[in-house]
Amino acid sequence: MVCNDVFASYVKLLSENENSFSLMNRILELFWDIYHIARVEIDFSLSDATITPNGKDTKQVFSVKEQIAKEQPDVVRRFTTIEQGVVTFSLYGAYGNAEWNEQQHKELDVILEVLFMHSGRFRLMNIVKQSVMTDAMTSLPNSHGYLSFLKEVHHNQQLADYDSYYFNLKRFGLMNKKFGKREADSIISRYASALREFIEDGECVARLGGDNFAALIKKERSKEFIALLSGVNTYGMLGDEKIPVVISATAGVCAIDDSVTHYEQVLSEASVAMNVAKNVTKEPLVYVTKELNERILNEKKVIAGFSEALERKEFKVYYQPKVETDGYSLVGAEALVRWQQDGRIVSPAEFVPVIERDGLICRLDFYVLEQVCQDIKGWMEEGVEPVRVSVNFSRRHLSNPNFAENIMDTMKRYGVDSRHIEVELTETTDEEEQGLLAAFVHKMQQYQVPVAIDDFGTGYSSLNLLRSVPVEVLKIDKSFVDGRSTTENDSVVLSNIIRMAKQLNMDVITEGVERWEQVEFLHDMECNVVQGFLFDKPLPKDIFDKRVRAKKYDITEVVDYEG
Ligand code: C2E
Ligand code: MG
Ligand code: MG
């Protein structure tokens, strides 16, 4: 057997290093005195189906300096690798060297076997490492891979050369619906290939899961990348048919500067900006800015303080009167919530959208309904005829199968009659939501509680909605009567909406009325009820109480509102 000392050094060398092939020259030196191996060739042949961290069909050659190898190898040994590939070692003895004897052949076999096993372990570790870092579907790095890339760039103090992106594909749910999950996955893979093609050395794009991606792009190439995000042309297969599709993304961008201390920060900030883009501004791109971070901090405060504020009864219900355009009597009111925070009155515009996104709005809406029911009960007990009060409900309630029942239960608890409550919901274009809305409205119809469509005419008005959902009341948004004078186009649209609503047996109310001329105009168009600062702003309960008792406005006291 080869000298024990040399073999011990060999094992020690391997055990102290991971990549055995990088040690080949030292290994050759180690055995030179005994075997005079002049050259070692290592051939890797891996099939297509295998993971090939070393590439397929690669050849590595190691030779001892100044020694001329023979034409033909003296020893050829083949092993099957863990990836079902083949690795071939070819050993060339130096010229002028005696042939290796049988014993030496055996020893060389042992040496190669040890080497093969050691290298296999290294490759296995690499494969595991690689697969932990790689998204199996697209072969892009996954979140681990991406974070490890960020870490390295941060370590090299190069982060400030980059913009960090977090992006989500627009309406990818539609692709799933149209092509099925499997083909939609293929579309994502094709999209990922387009991203990979764009990426240059030193940049990285990763799939974090689902249709969420992240990228670190050199600042000077950001513009091009944004263009890529705005639309990638690819296709989906429907049977044998190749259907062209354009994939665009909503992105949050963090322009990294030297103030960044944690590398994860550039990913998380971009992801927050993406969420703002998707859910708040509905724009394709939002940059991380100081203002955005402040706003997010504020939102976090709102969410953190909400439950306690609800318990402390800091939310107050205000009432804004609804007035008839015929005789100026009070015919109803809208309940509008205010947050009384340390003596300051916070408008719902500041916190409703925040808690709406979070879902906490559902608790607030029922709290408001409860307060309204309590007030109505109070008026009745005092012998004052209450007016119908409309309560705003977030569309988020629609996915609650007991939404209608919960409203009725609350009303019942206070002995409030259905003629005293109305439900306000904003319009929707989402097909699924429209179905839920229709079901809800039908239920409320059975309970004889009217439902109003709020802010009608803003966003995407869907006349289709009016056809399929039997709402009782159409609340026309204040933007129609906004401004100094209503434009001709506005009045054409408005008069037609009113006429159509009447034909569908709906009541029409216009909000945001601030001047007499608007009342007259609306009256001429047969819109019988208005709500707005002309008559009253939303009023605290004690002042509204007086209106409920009076039931009529003295129009000599009502003057145009001068914002
Ligand atoms: P909305 O339901 O469309 O309510 C009408 C808003 O228009 C109210 O703002 C009201 O003060 C304002 N307004 C009424 N007349 C005039 C006018 O003549 N001129 C002008 N410039 N504004 C007028 P507010 O109270 O700030 O409420 C804003 C929004 O917050 C509401 O819009 C509603 O969407 C939401 N909100 C308020 N309370 C609740 C609630 O309890 N639950 C839910 N889900 N949303 C609520
Ligand atoms: Mg409303
Ligand atoms: Mg409204």
Cβ neighbour number for residue 171 with a 10 Å cutoff:
12
121/150 same-domain check: no
Q: Which residue has the higher pLDDT, 118 or 536?
A: 536
Atom 24 (ligand 1) nearest CA: 348
Q: Say if 90 falls within a structural domain.
A: yes
pLDDT at position 1, please?
54
Which tokens belong to 321? 């009167």
**Does 58 reside within a domain?**
yes
Q: Within this chain, do residues 61 and 29 fall inside the same structural domain, yes or no?
A: yes
Supply the CATH number for residue 254's domain.
3.30.70.270
Q: Token digits for 420?
A: 């005293």
CA-to-CA distance for 534 and 484, rounded, in angstroms?
14
Q: What's the mean pLDDT in 177-185?
A: 95
Looking at the domain assignment, is residue 301 inside a domain?
no
Least confident of 22-26, 273-277, 558-562: 22-26
The single-letter code of the amino acid at 368 is V
Alpha helices per DSSP H over 334-430: 348-358, 361-381, 403-413
Check pLDDT > 70 for residue 2. no
CA proximity to 46, closest of 111, 126, 101, 108: 126
What residues contact 50, with CB distance under 8 A and at least 6 apart? 56, 83, 84, 85
Beta-carbon contacts of residue 226 (< 8 Å; ≥ 6 apart): 251, 253, 285
122/221 same-domain check: no
* pLDDT exceeds cutoff 60 at 53: no
Give yes or no for residue 297 CB within 6 A of ligand 1: no
Nearest partner of 86 among 39, 43, 119, judged by Cα: 43
Q: Is the pLDDT of residue 52 over 70?
A: no
Give the atom of ligand 1 at the shortest distance from the alpha carbon of 394: 44
pLDDT at 102 over 80: yes
State whether 374 and 395 are in the same domain: yes
The verdict on 65 and 193 lying in the same domain is: no
% of the chain residues with pLDDT over 70: 94
pLDDT digits 0-9 by tens, 398-438: 999 999 999 999 999 999 999 999 999 988 777 788 889 99
How far, in Å, from the CA of 506 to the mean position of ligand 2? 17
- Give a yes or no: residue 35 inside a domain: yes
A 10 A CB-CB count for 334 gives: 22
Cα–Cα distance for residue pair 79/95, rounded to 1 Å = 27
**Could you tell me the residue range of the domain that residue 193 belongs to?**
143-288
Ligand 1 site, residue 511, Cβ cutoff 6 A = yes
Tell me which of 110, 133, 156 is where a domain ends. 133
In a domain, 84, yes or no: yes
Decide if 322 is inside a domain.
Answer: yes
Kindly give the number of the ligand 1 atom that is closest to the alpha carbon of 514.
Answer: 18
Tell me, using a 6 A CB cutoff, whether residue 477 lines ligand 1. no
Q: How confident is the model at residue 50 (pLDDT cuts 50, 70, 90)?
A: low
| CA–CA separation, 426 and 459 (whole Å) | 10
CATH of the domain at 436: 3.20.20.450
Residue 111 scores a pLDDT above 80: yes
Could you report the per-residue pLDDT of 4-19, keeping only the tens digit for each?
Answer: 788 888 888 888 888 7
Q: Specify which residues 286 forms β-bridges with.
A: 252
Q: Is 51's pLDDT higher than 80?
A: no
Output the pLDDT for position 66.
60
Tell whether 127 and 260 lie within a shared domain.
no
Give the Cβ contact number of residue 352 at 10 Å.
19
Q: What is the DSSP letter of 532?
A: S
Instruction: Give how many domains the chain has, as a whole number.
Output: 3
**Does a structural domain hold residue 100?**
yes
**Can you say how many angstroms the Cα of residue 373 is from the centroid of all Cα atoms in its chain?**
38
Threshold 0.85, pTM exceeds = no
Q: What is the CATH number of the domain that holds 121?
A: 3.30.450.40
User: What one-character DSSP code corresponds to residue 294?
Assistant: H
- Provide CB contacts within 8 A for 118, sequence distance 6+: 14, 20
C-alpha dihedral, 511 to 515 to 516 to 518, nearest 10°: -50
Residue 221 · residue 203 · CB < 8 Å: yes
Question: For residue 224, what are its two tokens?
Answer: 């091009």
The model's pLDDT over 29-46, given as tens digits with 9 standing for 90+, comes to: 888 888 888 888 889 887
Which of 511, 517, 535 is the best mutation target for the ligand 1 pocket, counting ligand atoms within 8 Å of the beta carbon and taking the most? Answer: 511
Where a domain ends, among 100, 133, 166? 133
- Which residue did the predictor score with more confidence, 539 or 12? 539
- Minimum mean pLDDT range among 143-152, 412-421, 484-493, 530-539: 484-493
What would the mean pLDDT of 361-366 be, rounded to a whole number?
98
Share of the chain above pLDDT 90, in %: 62
Long-range CB pairs of 270-274 (<8 Å, 24+ gap) are 270/164, 270/165, 270/166, 270/214, 271/166, 271/214, 272/296, 273/166, 274/166, 274/167, 274/168, 274/250
Question: To which H or E segment does residue 4 belong?
Answer: helix 4-15
Q: Looking at residue 563, what is its pLDDT?
A: 79
**Domain membership flag for residue 363:** yes
Q: Which residue has the higher pLDDT, 427 or 498?
A: 498
Distance CA 349, CA 197 (A): 44
Average pLDDT, the chain: 90
How is residue 88 written in tokens? 């071939």
Domain match, 194 and 234 both: yes
Rounded to the nearest angstrom, the distance between the alpha carbon of 335 and the centre of ligand 1 is: 9
Count of beta carbons in the 10 Å neighbourhood of residue 556? 6
Q: Do 152 and 97 lie in a common domain?
A: no
Do residues 351 and 492 both lie within one domain?
Answer: yes
Q: Are residues 75 and 124 in the same domain?
A: yes
Instruction: Indicate whether 360 pLDDT > 70.
Output: yes
Domain co-membership, 88 together with 153: no
- Which residue from 352, 425, 544 has its CB within 8 A of the most atoms of ligand 1, so it is best to mutate? 352
Q: Are 172 and 279 within one domain?
A: yes
Q: For 240-244, what is the mean pLDDT?
A: 96
CA 403 – CA 78 distance, rounded (Å): 71
Instruction: Look at residue 197 and give its three-state secondary structure.
Output: helix
- Cβ of 407 less than 6 Å from ligand 1: no
Q: So what's the pLDDT on residue 429?
A: 72
Question: Of 133, 165, 195, which closes a domain?
Answer: 133
C-alpha of residue 256 to centroid of ligand 1, in Å? 39
